[in-house]
Chains A and B, each alone.
Chain A
Amino acid sequence: MRLRKGRTVTCGLALAIGVGTLSLGATASVAGADTATTTPGITATTITVGSISDISSPIPGLFEGAKVGTQAYFDYINSQGGVNGRKLVLDARDSAFSSGTVASEAQSIAKNDFAFVGGYSLLDGAEQPAIDADKVPMIAQTLTPSLSADPNLYSAIPTVNGGAGNGFFKWFKSQNPAAVKAVGFIGSNAAASAVASEHVYRNLTYNLGYKWVYSRDAGYTETTFLPDMIKMKSSGVKMVLEITEGPTEISSMAQEMKQQGLNVPLVTGAGTYSKAFDPGSAGNGTLLYTSTALYMGEDAKVIPAVGTFDKWAKKADPQTALDLFTLDGWINAQLFVQALKNAGTSATRASLVAQLNKVDSFNASGLITSQNPAQKIPGQCWIIAKYNNGKWLRTSPDPKSAFICNPNGFYPASYKGIPR
């Protein structure tokens, strides 16, 4: 029987909502079912692990290095027969820069793969529910504070939210007591993490007696820092600290410092160790402090792992930039393999975690300073390198394969109330 229009409308809407409500009940009852009875990702011949990285978006190729580094280490291990008779397989996923994709890929990895190893994503927080739900071990560098603190998370270089090592700054102050009284800083406001990091370094150096006399956050589309150089010069800046800006921007700053005769030390962090830092001779004398070896090849003669890393990374991807993300993938894969070997032939997620919990000292065969992944305590050692005509040269310590260490040098960022 044909109903009047209004009646049709009401019935149709009620039907839709009713169907929807039924669906809510149905899906609620399905959720939570766990039928896994065997260890996912492990067969007689292979162990498959997953990773999620930002590859195709927001900038194509952004963190592809993380995938390349992990794959390279697995290729290297597989060339030696694998781990306990099994080959390692990387199930690398692309986040497509969608947190929904990250969350669902994480669920898929949690169900099908043995562990998460080596990915890198700006949206890594979306992996956490799947990791927690299935208690899947994750061995990777992370950005989201809650994930960094997650009990299932192990990082080759542990991250402590709102903190950084202060050893280098103690050393620098001892060498340049006058310079630290007039610090110039140009930060980045391109990413929230960079702005947060700036607060950490401001607090850290303030606590050591550094005085910031000039600071500004620059937008990512700024083309020149000449006004900053003029202002820093007139403000009596005696050292320029660049930690949160990118290597291209720091490259421009080095050139413009030289250009304006601001001849003071330029101190930079690990991000500057990149092929994108290319200031020519204007960058000569730029200081770099980092808790990694000079992994793009400079340290290959004294740290054999550097040569191995370079060789296998280029095999995995001949166009690889050998960037920090590639190293991150490699060292986390190495941490995973170390624990997996110790877990034996009948490894399970629980036994892997048990072995990871024993790794309280890890240096990736000298590629990084000694870290404590089990306790989530970052390393307190570092090296200093100086830029000279297109090359980074270690200036300290001697011997060249070693690192300078400051026990108890870590600064927790609970300190508040520092004036900006």
Chain B
Amino acid sequence: MTEFLSLLVTGVVTGSIYAVTASGLVVTYNATGIFNFAHGAVGMFLAYLYWQLWQGWGWNPILALVVVLLVVAPVFALAVERVLMRPLYGSSLNTTIVVTLGMFLILYGLTSTIWNQSVVRNLPSWFSSDQVDVLNVNLTYEQLITVGCAVGVAAGLWVLFKRTRIGVSMRAVVDDPALASMTGARSSRISGFAWMIGFMLAGLAGILLAPGTGMSIQILSELVIFGYAAAIVGRLRSLPLTFLGAMILGIGESMAVGYVPSSALNDVTAVLPMGLLIIALLILPQAKLTVGRVVRLRAPRVPSLTTTVVSGVVLVAVSVLLSSLITGNNLYTLGLGLSIGLAALSLVLLSGYGGQAWLCQFTFIGLGCWAMTKVDGGSSILGVLAAIGLCAAAGGILALPALRLRGLYMALTTLAFAALMDSIFFINPSVVNGGSLTVGRPDIFGMRFTSDRSFIVLIAIVFALCLIGVGALRRGPFGRRLVAMSDSQAACATVGMNITKTKLAVFILAGGLAGLAGALYGGMSRTVSVSQFSFVNSMVLFVAVVLAGVTILSGSVQAGIGLAFAPVIGLHIPSISGFTYILFGVGIVAVGRNPYGMGRVYSDIGTWWDKRRAEARADDGLTGNPPTDATGSPLTEQVPSVG
């Protein structure tokens, strides 16, 4: 009994940390409808700032704490809300996801650039060795403060939402923004206030965590992901349930250490946070899980067969040309870019057409690589088929929760799946010995593709065929069903469409496509480290595809090439060590709110050019009518049509 109580107390300490992190997420989501994927990165950035003020510049620790949490965090939050978030209110889910992911990348890159990561930084404890006995467990003052902070945050937020005018207004805005505005509630002020609280709680969590985890940008920014489970238990709405979820998680971890048999302990502790997240997502009532909204967008013109085939031919021709002109790292990077582009194409199918937010594509690439190595010596076409088959099956399994989940919850499920695979599959020495895979290249009709150029051409041909295939799917009945499902599942069900079948099919197809990409990615790389399949890379890939245009086929090519070449460009700018992260972060923040990504930018440039030409013709006395599209609308509303 004594041990049980001791484990209970330690579980409460851990749960308190989860509670502080998760509550910030919930407050922001409650008032704005935006799930802030950058919550951990905000906490990390503020923890570094705190270190700088206290340890770097010798400020008094209390003064530094006050400045960071009560001055910098609120000002930072207001700036972010005004510049980045306010334009997002009412945007599509994918847009809100990628813009907050973009902020994550910017903060990650900025912090690593400002604070050289090769320098060891420790954030000391406030109190050296003072401790208190609580139910046979000695707790330090820091741990008591953490628990106190969790209690204080819980009480403070309760008072805020129940007893203050602005808190009640926040709840009113969430319930019915239009009605709330008629009663005089200023939604911009309310959302700004919510972001301030969110940032302050993120900073508090980061500062509480840093002495234990060390000043690591990776750990501090990713740790909050394990608090998602708590937030989901609270359905992203209820703070009491969120705190309950945090305590379930903390105490569950503690009790697992105490009572799970040693033979299963590693697996249980590795699975627990993400496992709880998946369970929470699956058992909560479906009605409550329906988040997001239908945003009326003009769909991009569907590319014709001619267009996709010409595009495919151009892709192959350009790849052949480039591969004969470039050498060394650029040549390899081209091959990697094309194979990543193929994985990105599966996201176009799934997210762009099907409306499903997927954050685990690099997990599928990893599975594809792994399957390739396991079949027929690792250099067989059978390995490629195994990669496609395994990933298609995995896609089918992931489709099962998707049958009842959508939007943000589906995104979180796939993220949890990716994190689980990182910690229980790829890390397992019996699965991947030594942490790296040596992947062969398929032997096709006696062609072994030993030279990199020949393999790049093979990847380009496969990619082109897949582009044409996905384009054909989009034009056919299946593509129309996908888009309809993405627009409104309820409407689809009303007209008798089999949503289950459609979802299952698109997940299997996308999984298989990503598996094929994995086999080719592995073959191009020859040696891959399992750390390349990290869920963070999947998040970056998702950002890259949306940035390039998730609803257009060419977006996948741009995303793959961009993602592969950005680090190479970064090598030439060593003074900005977080270049790749900053580049994609800034890019997505700039254009991510447009569902056509960079495609829209190209379209705008084309429109501007057409207008210039029309004006020039008018000046020359020719017809002055601006160009219009097929419906007669001005071309300024045109969206990209190229696949």
Contact = CB atoms under 8 A, between A and B. Distances in A.
Interface of A: 5, 8-9, 12-13, 15-17, 19-20, 23-24, 26-28, 30-31, 56-62, 64-65, 68, 94, 96-105, 107-108, 122-123, 125-126, 128-129, 143-146, 161, 189, 191-193, 195-196, 199, 214-221, 223-224, 226-228, 230-231, 234, 246, 248, 251-252, 255, 258-261, 274-276, 278, 280-282, 317, 319-321, 323, 420
Nearest to B449: A24
Contacts of A191: 427, 435, 531
Most-contacted residue by chain B among A60, A251, A320 (CB, 10 A): A60
A252 B214 CA distance: 9
A317 B574 CA distance: 15
Contacts of A216: 257, 262, 265-266, 269
A12 B571 CA distance: 38
B113 A60 contact: yes
Contact of B529 (A62, A99, A196, A320): A99
Contact of A65 (B118, B218, B526): B118
Nearest to B5: A230
Give 8 nearest A-B pairs by CB, closest first: A192-B435, A61-B118, A248-B214, A100-B332, A27-B453, A61-B117, A96-B567, A60-B577
Contact of B528 (A59, A61, A96, A99): A99
Contacts of B528: 99, 123
Interface string B615-639: 0000000000000000000000000
B120 A282 contact: no
Contact of A24 (B310, B336, B447, B526): B447
A23 B438 contact: no
B497 interface: no
Given A144-B436, A259-B140, A61 B216 contact: no
B137 interface: yes
A214 B306 contact: no
B559 to A, nearest CB: 16
Interface string B399-427: 00000000000000000000000010011
Given A16-B316, A216-B265, A319-B119, A226 B13 contact: yes
A269 to B, nearest CB: 18
A16 B336 contact: no
B580 interface: yes
Nearest to B255: A227
- Among B139, B226, B457, B461: residue with most chain A CB under 10 A: B457
B3 A230 contact: yes
A12 B309 contact: yes
B576 to A, nearest CB: 9
B7 interface: yes
Interface string B318-329: 001001100011
A307 B524 CA distance: 45
B379 to A, nearest CB: 14
A273 B451 CA distance: 44
B465 to A, nearest CB: 8
A259 B461 contact: no
A106 to B, nearest CB: 10
Given A13-B309, A27-B451, A226-B10, A60 B578 contact: yes
5 contacts: A101-B333, A103-B332, A144-B434, A224-B10, A226-B14
B531 A274 contact: no
Nearest to B537: A58
Contacts of B454: 23-24, 27-28
Given A30-B451, A101-B333, A319-B116, 4 more contacts: A27-B324, A56-B574, A57-B580, A104-B328
A192 B17 CA distance: 27
Contacts of A146: 438
B199 interface: no
A199 B452 CA distance: 37
B306 A9 contact: yes
Interface string B326-357: 00111111011000000000000000000000
A103 B526 contact: yes
B394 to A, nearest CB: 20
B458 interface: yes
Interface in B252-276: 253-254, 257-258, 262-263, 265-266, 269-270
Contact of A218 (B269, B432, B434): B269
B13 A97 contact: no
Nearest to B214: A248
B285 to A, nearest CB: 30
Given A20-B458, A24-B449, A122 B529 contact: yes
Please indicate which of the listed interface residues B10, B13, B317, B450 has the most CB atoms of chain A within 10 Å of its own CB.
B10
Contacts of B125: 280
Nearest to B131: A259
B212 to A, nearest CB: 5
A59 B306 contact: no
B237 to A, nearest CB: 26
Contact of B137 (A143, A214, A226, A251): A226
A17 B468 CA distance: 14
A19 B322 CA distance: 13
A56 B212 contact: no
A89 to B, nearest CB: 18
A275 B124 CA distance: 13
